[in-house]
Every structure is written in structure tokens, then in C-alpha cells.
Amino acid sequence: MNSKNKHAITVGFFIFLGTVILVVGIFTLGGQKKTFSPMLHVKAIFNNVNGLQKGNNVWFSGVKIGTVKSVGFYGTSQVEVTINIDRNAREYIRKDAHAKISSEGLIGNKLIVLSGGTPQAGPIEGGETLATDEAMNPEELMTTLQTNNKNLVDITTDFKLLSRRLVEGQGSMGALLKDDNLYKDLQKTMATLRTTAANLQVAAHNSQQLTSSIADYTAQLNKPGTLAGDLVTDTVVMANLRTSVEQVNLATAQANAFVHSLRNAGKKLDEADNAAGLLLNDEQVADELRNTLENINSSSKKLDENMEALQHNFLLRGFFKRKARQEAKAARDSARAQKK
């Protein structure tokens, strides 16, 4: 075999190898892009696609199910996106699913994420226009991140200032960290608060006991047969009690009238226009009455002496002895009658 034929064979081999590699690459890329898979076409209309391009991926529940077929304007300022979806994923995508533009990472390629949908809506059949959820604009996202970064810097600065003041013992917290006496006072205060809390618990317990006692007392009031229960439930007892109170009031009124009469009698005794008042207030009358009583006593004494003298007289001695014997006999008969 001459060198010319060898050269031709070598060139043909490399051409064949390149063709195989090209075909394999095409099928591989087509498989990744699902170019050769049977597809369904649905549409979604966005106000802003944020740089979405033809060929970008479509994801559902973290699984790639299709690609972006085309991107074009719709209406006055909206954008219509046509999506290729693998028929094998059709049964999982519902007609009321939502489409949202996202990205692979923070600054990666744009993609469409399908989400939502209810079983009642049924699977897509192709040609539907899906509802959309607007994604945050990258510029708005960057603005938000810058604002958050600024807030984080402010918070870090404030925290640094606060830490420095605490270390230097400034403010109440700083003084608490530096001053041992203040810490001890705070401990005493906490101990006092614990004691107060315990006392409050005891008071609450006592209040519960008081409430229980009141409930027991109320039950006793409703218990028949007791004075309190009869007063509450028995109308007869209440009527008798009312009658007793009226009688007590009447007796009080009579007592007041009696006291008033005594007071009037006392006033009469203080006056000299009656016998009792004259005896109490006129000393001359009192002296005369005293002399009269003394004369009566003296006369009575002399009469006794005369009677005793008559008893010793021989003419009347027998009379008095018989009378004494009769009195003694009457006393003995009375004593026997009492013994029987």
C-alpha cells in the first residue's frame, strides 16, 4: 500500500471519528435540552423577563422538565414566553400552575420555575396560558442587599459602641458589670421580690380558702333546719322574728315611758308643793316629823313598860299565864301538823 492510500485512509478515519463525535454531541446536547423529546407548548406572559433567553431551562419541583422555546413582545409592553414541556411531565403540571422567573444562583442564568396547581384543575394539554408570579428585579434585589448591608453596618457600629460602653462601665448595665455593690443590691432586690412573690402566693391561697369558706357558709344558708336557712327560706320564722322585733320595740317604748314617768316623779320630789317634796326639801318639816317619830317611839317604849308591869300585877298574872299556855299549845299543834 503506497503512502497516498495510507494518507487517504487516515484522513477518512479521522473524518469518521469526527462525525461520530459530532453526532454523539448533538444527541447528548439534544438530550440535555430535550430537543428530541416529545413536547407540549404552553405560554406565560410577564411584565419583565429580567434577561430570560431562548433555550433557558424550565424547572418543576427541582426537576428540569423543558426549555424556553421563544421570547417575544406581547401587547404594549409585556413579554410572551413560549415554553416547551416534556410530555412525560404533563400529568404533574396542572392548568392552574404558576410560572415565575428565577435564576441559577445569585447571578446565574435565568430560568422558569413552575409551581402550584391543584388536582381538580387537571393536567395541561398544550396551548394553555399559565398564570405568572412576578420576580424581584435584580436592581431591586441589589438595592435591597445594599440597604441590608448598610443596616448591618449600622447595627455592628451600635453594637461596638454598646460593647465599649459596657466595658468602660457606662450606663446601668455597665455599672452593673463594674460595681459589685450595685450587683449585691440587685441580688437583695431580687431576694425581696422572691419573698414578695411567695407572700402573694400565700395571700392567694388564703383568698382561695376564704372563697371556699364563703361557699361553705352559703351552702349552710341553703341547708334546711338551721336558723340561717330558716331565716332565708322559711317565711313563718321570718314572720315570728318580725313579731318579736315589734314586741321588743313596744317594750322599749314602754320602758322609755316608764323612765319618763320616773323622771317626772323625780321632778315632783324636787318641788315643795307636795308632801313628798315637802319632806325632802323643807328642813323644818323634816325636823318636826323626826320629833314626832321620836315621841311615838318614846310612847311605845313607855307602853311596853306599862304592859310588862301589868303582867307582874297579881290581878292580871293568871290571865297572862293562861294566854301563854294557849299560845304554846297552839305552837305544838302546828308543829305536829307540819310533821304529818
Residue 19 CA from chain centroid, whole number: 84
Confidence (pLDDT) at 112: 92
Q: Cell match 341547708: residue?
A: 223
Bridge partners, residue 99, by sequence: 114, 132
Q: Are 95 and 121 in contact (CB under 8 A)?
A: yes
Q: Which amino acid is at 223?
A: K
- Within the chain, which residues score under 70 in pLDDT? 1-8, 11, 23-37, 105-107, 136-141, 165-180, 182-183, 217, 219-238, 265-286, 289, 303-320, 340
How would DSSP label each residue in 281-297?
A: H-HHHHHHHHHHHHHHH
Contact residues for 241 (Cβ-Cβ < 8 A; gap 6+): 231
pTM over 0.75: no
Count H helices, E strands: the chain?
Answer: 9, 7
Q: What is the pLDDT of residues 249-284, one digit of tens each?
A: 888 888 888 777 777 766 665 665 665 555 556 666
Alpha-carbon distance of 252 to 166, in angstroms, equals 82
End-to-end CA distance of the chain: 188
Using DSSP's 3-state secondary structure scheme, residue 137 falls into: coil
Contact residues for 313 (Cβ-Cβ < 8 A; gap 6+): none
Q: Which of 50, 34, 156, 63 is nearest to 100 (CA)?
A: 50
Using DSSP's 3-state secondary structure scheme, residue 126 falls into: coil
Confidence (pLDDT) at 178: 61
Across the chain, which distance is largest between two alpha carbons, in Å?
Answer: 221
Give all strands (DSSP E) within the chain, no chain letters.
39-46, 57-60, 63-74, 78-86, 98-103, 110-115, 129-133
Query: 19-43 burial string, b = 16+ CB within 10 Å, else e?
Result: eeeeeeeeeeeeeeebeebebbebb
Alpha-carbon distance of 167 to 158, in angstroms, equals 14
Alpha-carbon distance of 98 to 80, in angstroms, equals 14
For 235-253, the three-class secondary structure string (H helix, E strand, C coil) is HHHHHHHHHHHHHHHHHHH
Confidence (pLDDT) at 237: 62
Residue 334 CA from chain centroid, whole number: 92
